[in-house]
Structure 1
């Protein structure tokens, strides 16, 4: 096997460029993703959350509802999904759709979209990461942070474009 591949995999003998993390949360190898690990990360941050009737982790950040879902055949995908607390008025639908399109074209995270629901239009943001081979605590923490921060940024930017619906 090529020496550079051995070094990348951490298999090269010491003195040949092999480095291994020491201490901290990233020192442990990736472990299977679980709801417990996601909950532990939220607790570590001091966040309040609950388990809903579907068994999903959910909570409210800046007034917006978020879910931390484990998806995939083996629950290997962590998805942080947020639903904007505001309403998308029919009169602002086209402007909001344009903002959604602009955001998705110009940024990687989060994926944002509008969905028709029983009570009108709802705005969602999602960050999904596949941890098929496990995740370190640092990776779980980064995904949680990315999902919450980027979705909240998008929701804040929409608040000025889509004032509350009359009703």
Structure 2
């Protein structure tokens, strides 16, 4: 076998043989500024229902819990997906709730979980925040929204499974 034939044979055997001209790589997606309209367009493309609240923020309900899509920072460069659990807890449960939130935050990267007292009850929130000063591609934006919603819903689902029904908490 000639050296050229051997080389072609080895190329075919190891899957490195070119049977046709190389295909050009796809054009790289460019990062562009993240705006409320871009987030809304993405949510619509997924078939999600949402609205603008009184502050002009995008908001919707996923698995019974409210989520907001906020653009924060001096130039709206920080995308934050914030969720509020659909239940509240009595303030007498503060220590247990804070321990659960601390456990979650220690064991997981996302979402950040915290507790607020609102009208004499405890409300639990989830947050995923990302600095997008240099913009984001469509794929990156999709990943960030999926992360914010998915991990927030996951955390709220875990809470639902750990706590007794609402009527048994007082």
Q: Normalising by the residue count of structure 1, what TM-score does the alignment of the two structures yield?
A: 0.81
* Contact 2:50–2:58 under 8 Å retained in 1: yes
- Name the structure 2 match of 1:107: 108
**Aligned-partner SS, 1:70:** strand
Residues 106-160 of structure 1: per-residue CA shift (max 9 Å, x gap): 1110000000112411000000011000110111111110000101111111113
* Contact 1:68–1:80 under 8 Å retained in 2: yes
* Contact 2:90–2:120 under 8 Å retained in 1: no
Give 1:99 shift: 1.1
Structure 1 unaligned blocks of 5 or more: 1-19
Query: How far, CA to CA, are the matches of 2:100 and 2:82 in structure 1?
Result: 18
Runs (4 or more) in structure 1 with deviation over 3 Å come to: none
Structure 2 unaligned blocks of 5 or more: 1-23
* Contact 2:91–2:120 under 8 Å retained in 1: no
* Contact 1:59–1:65 under 8 Å retained in 2: yes
* Contact 1:58–1:66 under 8 Å retained in 2: yes
Q: Normalising by the residue count of structure 2, what TM-score does the alignment of the two structures yield?
A: 0.80
- Name the structure 2 match of 1:65: 66
Give 1:103 shift: 0.6
Give the number of aligned pairs. 145
Pairing 1:1-167 to 2, within 5 Å after superposition: 22=26, 27-163=28-164, 164=166
Residues 67-92 of structure 1: per-residue CA shift (max 9 Å, x gap): 00000000001000000001213343
RMSD over aligned Cα atoms: 1.7
